[in-house]
Amino acid sequence: MPNKIVFLLRLLPLLLIVLTSQATPSTQVLQAYNRDTISLNGDWQVIVDPYENGFYNYRYKPFDQQKNPPASAFFTDSKVTSSSQLLEYDFDKADSLEVPGDWNTQSDMLYYYEGSVWYRKKFDAHLEQASDRSFIYFGGINYRADVYLNGKKLGIHVGGFTPFHYEVTDLLKSQGNSLVIKVDNSRHADAVPTLNTDWWNYGGITRDVKLVIVPNVFIRDFSIHLASAKDKKVTAEVLLDGAVGGEMVELSIPELNLVQSVKVDNNGLATVEFDAKSAQLWSPKSPKLYSFKMKSEQDELIDSVGFRTIATFGKQLLLNDEPLFLRGISVHEEYSAKGNGRVRSAGDARQLLNWAASLNSNFVRLAHYPHNEHMVRQAEEMGILVWSEIPVYWTINWTNSETYQNAENQLSEMIGRDKNRAAVIIWSLANETPVSEQRNDFLEKLASKARELDNTRLLSAAMEKHYREDDAGVAVVEDPLAELVDIVSFNQYIGWYDGLPEKADRVNWQIPYNKPVFVSEFGGGAKAGYHGDKNTIWTEEFQQNLYQKNLAMLDRIDGLVGLSPWILSDFRSPRRLLTGIQDDFNRKGVLSNTGEKKKAFFVLRDFYADKRKLYEPTITP
């Protein structure tokens, strides 16, 4: 039997830590994706405020810390009341931006902008019952969001890629609500990620905004898991918010004719176990999802769930107790084919995943931050396995306690949102972080927190290689972090940053762990349509040769269970400045940013076709 079995959707703690620098959003998860909600997407009025005149007075003191903020504070959304009044802003006369969406690709003026932009949305909200409760839910805002409703500060959220929400029941009006958010995408040395990254710092309200109206006692969160692929025992837990204890909740999986009613305890928790012997397991070959219905006296929530197990056994990776090879590709949450920056919709997400699937892929590494919930749910429907990670990237401030708390918060919010998604099999803690005692302590605490929140999935991180001092032909992956994770993953760029592609013919690998090995990055740049011989850099032929050499080399590694080359499609990066070739794009994609296939695409597609036949012999690509 496997020495470490990690099962789908095991019960998680439902109370998650949320980091903010002042007021805080709710510390509990709110499952909102499949609820009937009122969308607050669309056009929002915006004011670009690089000096933050709407936030600070001329002595640089925040207006929102004053007992009676002046009309000049932008969050008051004030209007001139007399012809002699001095007021130097007016949201009604301001420009607009689309939400969800980044500001960089919606306005030429804001392409390189980093700083504060104020967003304002006016909306009505008619509560059907006097006892109803209301929440405003944000899918993601990059990076710091100061949130105000009708002139009152709801709080601050820090982190650009995870959801948060506020209860606004006592503040909401039936008509004329003013929701104002100061969005600041400034980079900071002690932030997560830190100052230096190799992707675009898209600012704005980049994901959906929703008004969620629920009964006084409502189903806030749930967790469901399969105990084993063999026994098919399913345990579910539901959190009923506002309950006093003794309320009844009915939990059912109609397609399996499973239904149970149970009382919640004094904390609002209800737990049941189903004997699901007829359940079909979720896998890339057959991504079966079931409707899971939760019903209380006042509320009902329905979501889709899949049942599968993920495990390691020595150097094997097992899905539903069967060997698995991850035919992967790394993906950024960027869709530039129609001029967008960040992915804005389920359709954008599905297009990226369709591109990945056309490579014969069964796996995506969602780099380097938690992606839009659309990406994860679309992947689940399509049968594509997922690696999800937080942006502990390159050189974080390892000794700053607030930096650690920020990272832990993003980890908690990522896991809280996606703990019930069958597609997600790996939580990743970091990418290319240099080994030091402080870094090791930081990541050890993160690993412990991840296992506390979810012990049903595998942990990994993208580590680095070095060469043996006595033999430059032996590449070594040895890192204290490898002892903490379940899969030894590493990035390497032989043939690009490390010699020419032919170097791969001479390199052997030393990886001293009895664990599965995963190559989380390799690759090189090419501009689509630029051709030459295989020794001419930036040509498709150079990238093609690099892929051929690297795939042959990596396939010789003992315990190799998969790859996620860098990257699916070209993406924007301020680090990539070569005029005529890069033009603000990292060109390592096997597709261009508009979806043109480069020669390396076909090399990788054919390699994966062979792996698919080997691991799925009944499947014909």
Segment 485-494, tens digit of pLDDT: 999 999 999 9
Flag whether pLDDT at 135 surpasses 90.
Answer: yes
Q: Which residues of 303-333 are buried (b: 16+ CB within 10 A; e: fewer)?
A: bbbbbbbbbbeebebbbbbeebbbbbbbbbb
Instruction: Please give the average per-residue pLDDT across 413-441, as a whole number.
Output: 97
**Nearest to 432, CA basis, from 367, 378, 495:** 367
How far apart, in whole angstroms, are the C-alpha atoms of residue 615 and residue 595?
28
pLDDT range class, residue 617, cuts 50, 70, 90 = low
**Could you give the number of structural domains in the chain?**
3
Q: Are residues 261 and 396 in the same domain?
A: no
- The predicted-structure confidence for 48-86, as pLDDT tens digits, reads as follows 999 999 999 999 999 999 999 999 999 999 999 999 999
Q: Are residues 236 and 273 in the same domain?
A: yes
Q: Judge whether 532 lies within some domain.
A: no
pLDDT given for residue 612 in this prediction: 94
pLDDT given for residue 73 in this prediction: 97
Give the angle subtended at the CA of 446 by the CAs of 25 and 405, to the nearest 5°: 35
How far apart, in whole angstroms, are the C-alpha atoms of residue 381 and residue 304?
10
Q: Judge whether 95 lies within some domain.
A: yes
Q: Are residues 371 and 515 in the same domain?
A: yes
Q: Rounded mean pLDDT of the chain?
A: 93
The one-letter amino acid at 20:
T
Flag whether pLDDT at 270 surpasses 50.
Answer: yes
pLDDT given for residue 513 in this prediction: 97
CATH number, residue 65? 2.60.120.260
**DSSP secondary structure letter of residue 543:** H
**Nearest to 279, CA basis, from 287, 270, 288:** 288
Q: Judge whether 395 lies within some domain.
A: yes
Q: Judge whether 441 lies within some domain.
A: yes
- The predicted-structure confidence for 553-567, as pLDDT tens digits, reads as follows 999 999 999 999 999
Q: Give the DSSP H or E segment for 374.
A: helix 373-382
pLDDT given for residue 336 in this prediction: 79
Flag whether pLDDT at 100 surpasses 60.
Answer: yes
**Nearest to 207, CA basis, from 145, 141, 287:** 141
- The predicted-structure confidence for 292-322, as pLDDT tens digits, reads as follows 999 999 999 999 999 999 999 999 999 999 9
Q: Which residue reads 């009895």 in tokens?
A: 514
**Nearest to 525, CA basis, from 463, 575, 488, 474:** 575
Q: Judge whether 449 lies within some domain.
A: yes
Q: Judge whether 594 lies within some domain.
A: no
Q: Judge whether 585 lies within some domain.
A: no
Sort residue 580 into left (φ over 0), alpha (ψ -120 to 50) or beta: left
Q: Are residues 207 and 259 in the same domain?
A: no
Q: Are residues 302 and 331 in the same domain?
A: no
Residue after which a domain boundary falls, among 214, 229, 261: 214
> Phi and psi at residue 545, in whole multiples of 5°?
-65, -40
Give the angle subtended at the CA of 410 by the CAs of 223 and 315, to the nearest 5°: 70
Flag whether pLDDT at 207 surpasses 50.
Answer: yes
pLDDT range class, residue 435, cuts 50, 70, 90 = very high
Q: Judge whether 225 lies within some domain.
A: yes
Percentage with pLDDT > 70 across the chain: 95
| Cβ atoms 621, 360 nearer than 8 A | yes
How far apart, in whole angstroms, are the C-alpha atoms of residue 543 and residue 590?
9
Give the angle subtended at the CA of 425 by the CAs of 423 and 430, to the nearest 5°: 125
Q: Are residues 350 and 417 in the same domain?
A: yes
Flag whether pLDDT at 13 surpasses 50.
Answer: no
Helix axes 401-418, 373-382, angle to 10 degrees: 40
- Sheet containing 133-138: order of strands: 38-39, 209-214, 133-138, 164-167
pLDDT range class, residue 19, cuts 50, 70, 90 = very low
Parallel, antiparallel or unpaired: strands 488-491 and 458-463 = parallel
Flag whether pLDDT at 16 surpasses 90.
Answer: no
Q: Are residues 200 and 222 in the same domain?
A: no
> Phi and psi at residue 255, in whole multiples of 5°?
-65, -25
- The predicted-structure confidence for 505-532, as pLDDT tens digits, reads as follows 999 999 999 999 999 999 999 999 999 9
How far apart, in whole angstroms, are the C-alpha atoms of residue 576 and residue 458?
33
pLDDT given for residue 576 in this prediction: 96
pLDDT given for residue 129 in this prediction: 81
Flag whether pLDDT at 403 surpasses 90.
Answer: yes
pLDDT given for residue 340 in this prediction: 79
How far apart, in whole angstroms, are the C-alpha atoms of residue 45 and residue 610?
52
Q: Are residues 191 and 179 in the same domain?
A: yes
| Residue 228, Cβ density class (10 Å: 0-12 exposed, 13-18 middle, ≥19 buried) | middle
Residue after which a domain boundary falls, among 214, 240, 259: 214
**Alpha-carbon torsion (64, 68, 70, 76), positive or negative:** positive
CATH number, residue 254? 2.60.40.10
Q: Which range (26-35, 139-148, 444-453, 486-495) has the least confidence? A: 26-35
How far apart, in whole angstroms, are the C-alpha atoms of residue 313 and residue 505?
30
Residue after which a domain boundary falls, among 192, 214, 236: 214
pLDDT given for residue 8 in this prediction: 36
- The predicted-structure confidence for 216-269, as pLDDT tens digits, reads as follows 999 999 999 998 888 899 999 999 999 999 999 999 999 999 999 999 999 999
Instruction: Please give the average per-residue pLDDT across 332-337, as a whole number.
Output: 88
Flag whether pLDDT at 18 surpasses 90.
Answer: no
pLDDT given for residue 532 in this prediction: 97
pLDDT given for residue 230 in this prediction: 86
pLDDT given for residue 106 in this prediction: 95
pLDDT range class, residue 26, cuts 50, 70, 90 = low
Instruction: Please give the average per-residue pLDDT across 8-34, as a whole number.
Output: 52
Q: Are residues 226 and 188 in the same domain?
A: no
- Per-residue tokens: 383: 């049968």
CATH number, residue 355? 3.20.20.80
| Cα dihedral 544/545/548/554 (nearest 10) | -110
- Per-residue tokens: 260: 């149970």
Q: Are residues 94 and 233 in the same domain?
A: no
pLDDT given for residue 17 in this prediction: 29
Q: Which residue reads 């990886």 in tokens?
A: 511
pLDDT given for residue 194 in this prediction: 96
**Nearest to 562, CA basis, from 518, 513, 616, 514:** 518
Q: Are residues 153 and 226 in the same domain?
A: no
How far apart, in whole angstroms, are the C-alpha atoms of residue 269 and residue 318?
32
Q: Are residues 49 and 194 in the same domain?
A: yes
| Domain span including residue 90 | 38-214
The one-letter amino acid at 423:
A
pLDDT given for residue 229 in this prediction: 83
Flag whether pLDDT at 3 surpasses 60.
Answer: no
